[in-house]
Amino acid sequence: DTEVTQTPKHLVMGMTNKKSLKCEQHMGHRAMYWYKQKAKKPPELMFVYSYEKLSINESVPSRFSPECPNSSLLNLHLHALQPEDSALYLCASSQEGGMNSPLHFGNGTRLTVT
């Protein structure tokens, strides 16, 4: 069982909808991440939060809006998505700083945009 919890597990939304993905970790990690993964591809980094501040935005379109309300929570707000945004969205966390900081992934949210 993963210590990073993502909800919902599956989400179907239309192109005009607004929805949010949620992620929670209780490992005391200070860095949290959003990744997007298409079939047969490696995870693709979207955003990194470090100590609740956005530290990396990998030129993600503005229809994806991240939010980190506190050190344990990470949200991804979705608006006006396109069908090509359909993918597995992965949240991850890691200890901040130092080199021995592997990512711990949640189970992901399977998003389908119709």
Q: Which residue has the tokens 């890691």?
A: 94
**Site residues for other proteins, window 2-31 (CB under 8 A)?**
2
Please say which residue, 17 or 75, places its beta carbon nearer to other proteins: 75
**Residue 100 near other proteins by CB under 8 A:** yes
Q: Count H helices and E strands in the chain, helices first.
A: 0, 11
Contact pick of 48, 68, 76, 87 for other proteins (by CB under 8 A): 48
Task: Return the residue of 56, 69, 77, 114 that touches other proteins, per CB under 8 A.
Answer: 56
CA pair distance 109, 8, nearest whole angstrom: 6
Query: At 80, is the secondary structure helix, strand, or coil?
Result: coil
